[in-house]
Amino acid sequence: MTETAVPSPSAPDPGTLGIICGGGAFPLVVAEAALKAGRKVFLLPIYGFAEASSVERYPHEWIHIGAFGRLSAALRRNGCRQVVFVGTVLRPSITRLRVDWGSLKLIPRVLGMFRGGDDHLLTSVGRIFEEHGFELVGAHEIAPDILVPPGVLGGRLPSSEDIDAAHFGQEVVRALGPFDIGQGVVVGGRRVLAVEAAEGTDLMLERCRDLRANGRIKFRSKAGVLVKAPKPGQDRRLDLPSIGPRTIELAAEAGLAGVAVEAGGVIAANIEDIVRIADEKGLFIIGLDR
Amino acid sequence: MTETAVPSPSAPDPGTLGIICGGGAFPLVVAEAALKAGRKVFLLPIYGFAEASSVERYPHEWIHIGAFGRLSAALRRNGCRQVVFVGTVLRPSITRLRVDWGSLKLIPRVLGMFRGGDDHLLTSVGRIFEEHGFELVGAHEIAPDILVPPGVLGGRLPSSEDIDAAHFGQEVVRALGPFDIGQGVVVGGRRVLAVEAAEGTDLMLERCRDLRANGRIKFRSKAGVLVKAPKPGQDRRLDLPSIGPRTIELAAEAGLAGVAVEAGGVIAANIEDIVRIADEKGLFIIGLDR
């Protein structure tokens, strides 16, 4: 079933959009996009992750992570058949999950979910929602503008060596796909300098900065490319990789020449801001073809 | 041509063994093994890497990294046809190479060598030696005792989950082989927590320790396995991954349950010491089948 901007008369009313909100600017962007498209929204900010300032202007109900019973009741009560997950949620600790009666019978599955990578965890969470009658949609389906577009996005042009490094980085992310590892690498020439796993993109970039400062990575000024791309086979409704202003700032601190992301496969809450910072810092930023 | 412990009368005399020495305990172990086998040795410690205390008891001549002309002259002068590289040499900076007349004409190749990963760099260096009439042998061919043996090596037994994690880690190293990335990963359950690239094993373990301390990696006490294995297709004469006492200490600090290395594919200068430390810290240590 394909969805179009104007629903055909026979399409069922999608109803209020339930937005489960983690941290960062994305929940706001998605809520605004849905409202602009004429949808009603109901936000479910997660304690400890969502920011009150971004969510409290909308109808909302705070939830504890893991409290699936309360969450699904709140979704039903507010007429939400379609649900979107958006924003940062660091992998929770099993012991900190606030398990309620609704999630109790899910415990054996939850324990299994925690054994794999992030993608495995998210896919399992997604499946549970679907089994309970909710339809999961991707944040980028509600707010297509968050997808980073293809091409050279800023004022700085990458060298042919940078483009070669970016494609090499894409291949590395692809090879790591089956292992559900992070979606970022830093490549200099054809040398992989860093691979992202549990630490996340920001800490990987800080590591590159430190390795450079202490001489373990030796390059002339401004070399190396941060490459981000979704894992092949990843459920794009749940966890597209993202970039933000901090990504560019840390890439600059690491002395990189630029940032390359898979166009249409990486999200940014405000790409104009990001491009402006890249221009200021003298870094290129490009959207790569898949 | 296979070599046996007792050369057959028709085999050419291998002559004095030239040992190009980086840092750490391996040069000493290799020199002693060669002497014990009745070979003469001549050491070529590299300034800035080799430790005077381990090399100066043997006939030797200090060399600058990159000074290939002086190095090959010293090897010939001392009757070294066979050469072994051993010990730690951090990837040198191009600008710090002390280039002499003998290496000047190699410069275009050297620049190309620096564009790839470590393995690419070492293979290229190895090829240059061979083109100049030297035979490269692996440190483990001279000192087979440095190869970590298969099986459970210490007093602590891995759980079946740990063994599963170790095999999963081996698969990750294998998948990364074509990209010439580091030879270590940390795996918890079936989740890849960290992948080693330019930072090396020690810094990867420090990262796991820090991620655990700040709650980004959440596990019950003692979980996760460090896995080290050679890259598939790697020239084993030049750069087998190694473990040392510090590896075990850092794995313990990172809260890991144990260490798994590919048997016959990872070297240790003194495996008894390493096993003793693992036992003291309560970590298992195992040699995996390939």
Tell whether A99 is within 8 A of chain B (Cβ): no
The shortest C-alpha distance from B190 to chain A (Å) reads 5
CA distances from B48 to A106, B45, B90 (A): 58, 9, 10
Among the listed residues B49, B53, B75, the one whose alpha carbon sits nearest the alpha carbon of residue B130? B75
Q: What are the chain B neighbours of A186 within 8 Å (beta carbons)?
A: 197
**What is the average pLDDT value for chain A, to the nearest integer?**
85
Give ∠ CA B49-B50-B56 in degrees, rounded to 5.
155
pLDDT profile of chain B (290 residues), mean per 10: 48 84 90 95 92 90 84 93 83 53 58 60 73 89 95 96 95 87 88 92 94 77 90 77 94 96 94 97 95
| Structure confidence by residue, pLDDT tens digits, B7-41 | 455 556 778 999 999 888 899 999 999 999 999 99
Residue A176 and residue B176: Cβ atoms within 8 Å? yes
Give the pLDDT confidence of A267-285 residue by residue, as tens digits. Answer: 999 999 999 999 999 999 9
Compute the 3-state secondary structure of chain B and give helix, strand, coil in percent, each to the nearest 5. Answer: 40, 20, 40
The tens digit of pLDDT for each residue in A192-245 reads 999 999 898 999 999 999 998 887 776 666 889 999 999 887 777 777 889 999
Q: Which of B195, B199, B215 sits opposite A197 (nearest CB)?
A: B195
Contact between A192 and B179 using a beta-carbon 8 Å cutoff: yes
pTM: 0.82
| Side chain identity at residue A63, one-letter code | I
Task: Tell me which chain A residue has its CA closest to the CA of residue B120.
Answer: A191
Measured CA to CA, the distance from residue A269 to residue B154 in angstroms comes to 51
Give the three-state DSSP class for A248.
Answer: helix
Q: Does A217 touch chain B (CB under 8 A)?
A: yes
Chain A: give the shortest CA distance to residue B218, in Å.
6
User: Nearest C-alpha of chain A: how many angstroms from B197?
Assistant: 5
Contact call for A190 and B218, based on CB within 8 A? no
Q: Which residues of A touch B114 (CB under 8 A)?
A: 189
Q: Which of A116, A179, A193 sits opposite B172 (nearest CB)?
A: A179
* Chain B residues close to A168, C-beta within 8 Å: 179
Distance from CA of A42 to the nearest CA of B (A): 30
Chain B touched by A191 (CB under 8 Å):
yes
Residues of A in contact with B181 (CB under 8 A): 172, 192, 195
- A94 DSSP assignment: G
Residue count of chain B: 290
Q: Give me the interface pTM, i.e. the ipTM.
A: 0.79
Q: Do B180 and A193 touch (CB under 8 A)?
A: no
Q: How far is B117 from chain A (nearest CA, A)?
A: 5
